[in-house]
Structure 1
Amino acid sequence: MIRGLYEAHLPVKNLEVSIEFYTRLGLKFAWRDDDTAFFWIEEGKSWIGLWEGEEYQTSYHPSLRHIAFQVTYDDLKQSLKWLESIQVKAVPFGRRSTIDPFIRPNQGNASVYFDDPDGNSLELMCYIEVPDHLKHITDKLSFHEWEELLKKQ
């Protein structure tokens, strides 16, 4: 029955500032009204709605105010350079001290994090193939550590 995600929504303080930010990310503007703007993530398939209002003050929690955008593995390897090129700063995830992208072998994915102008948590994320004998690893590994593990097979 369910075939994918159609839409997600985030609260923003200033719609004009947010429209400029999400345009820099390369998302295609879909439409807007007085206090709402929508951008296509995949045109005709999924979009993100930005809602101007006091709700942007809602405290962050991973279950609130977070969206992950799917990218390729190679894109994720270049993500810090890309973010810097559009004047967006990556942020550490959780208790990590580094902003570098990382691999979660036990989940079969890799990520890098950054925030929008209102502190909404955004993530670039990709799926990765994990050999069965490495699926037990719960540590977050750098791309270098991950690729070295794969070479040892």
Structure 2
Amino acid sequence: MIKGLFEAHLPVSNLEKAKEFYKSLNLELAWEDEDTAFFWIEKEKSWLGLWEGEEVETPYHPSLRHIAFRVDYEFMKDSLNWLEERNINAVPFGKRTSVEPFVRPNQGNASVYFQDPDGNSLEFMCFVDVPPVLKGRQEKFLVEEWEELLR
């Protein structure tokens, strides 16, 4: 029976630069060799492998070169400040122009997106409680708008 995600992998162009970036996200280095580094996402539960090599030239697609880190809702609300403290810029998702965290009621989650130095897509994501009356809504709401809807 599946218990969770053990590992995910991303390509990087410069392992040393990538290691510094992922350390800035407060991830702990689990082990490394000359062209690979693994960081704990949840210690002893799941990790992220970074592989230095030409695969970093693979064009981005949502099914490739993307990782979503699970966070809680309170962190999500302050995620832009947290990223800014680390000199990391949030990026818009898809065709959106705003970088603000947003809620997808139809999926029951909230997200904010950013990138690592190699353009790998990273996301903070959390579950949100969705009242039955809002579960079918397809539009995306900024967190502030979402909280207003819930009042």
- TM-score (normalised: structure 2): 0.99
Q: What is the aligned residue count? A: 151
Q: Which residue of 2 aligns with 1:108?
A: 108
Per-residue CA distance 1:55-95 (angstroms, 9 max, x = gap): 00000000000000000100000000000001100000000
Q: Which residue of structure 1 aligns with residue 8 of structure 2?
A: 8
In structure 1, distance between residues paired with 2:45 and 2:96: 33
Letter in 2 for 1:32: E
> Could you tell which deviates more after superposition, 115-124 or 129-138?
129-138
Verify: 1:82 aligned to 2:75, yes or no: no
Hey, which bits of structure 1, 4+ residues long, moved more than 4 A? none
Tell me whether 131-140 or 41-50 shows the greater mean CA deviation.
Answer: 131-140
Paired with 2:122 and 2:144, the residues of 1 have a C-alpha distance of 23
What residue is the counterpart of 1:49 in the other structure? Answer: 49
Equivalent residue for 1:139?
139
Tell me how far apart the structure 1 counterparts of residues 143 and 11 of structure 2 sit (CA, whole Å). Answer: 32
Instruction: Name the aligned partner's letter for residue 130 of structure 2.
Output: V
Distance in 2, matches of 1:144 and 1:98, equals 13
**CA shift for structure 1 position 144:** 1.5
How far apart are 1:133 and its partner, in Å?
A: 1.2
Give ranges in structure 2 of 5+ residues lacking alignment: none
Query: Identity percentage over the alignment?
Result: 65
RMSD (Å) for aligned C-alpha atoms: 0.5
Aligned to 2:68: 68
Deviation at residue 132 of structure 1 after TM alignment: 1.3
Q: What letter is aligned with 2:64?
A: L
Hey, what does 1:127 align to over in structure 2? Answer: 127
Unaligned runs of 5+ in 1: none
Q: Corresponding residue for 1:30?
A: 30
Asked if residue 98 in structure 1 is aligned to residue 120 in structure 2, the reply is no
**How many angstroms apart in 2 are the aligned matches of 1:42 and 1:144?**
29
> What's the TM-score once normalised by structure 1's chain length?
0.98
Letter in structure 2 aligned against 1:141: F
1:131 Cα deviation after fit: 1.1
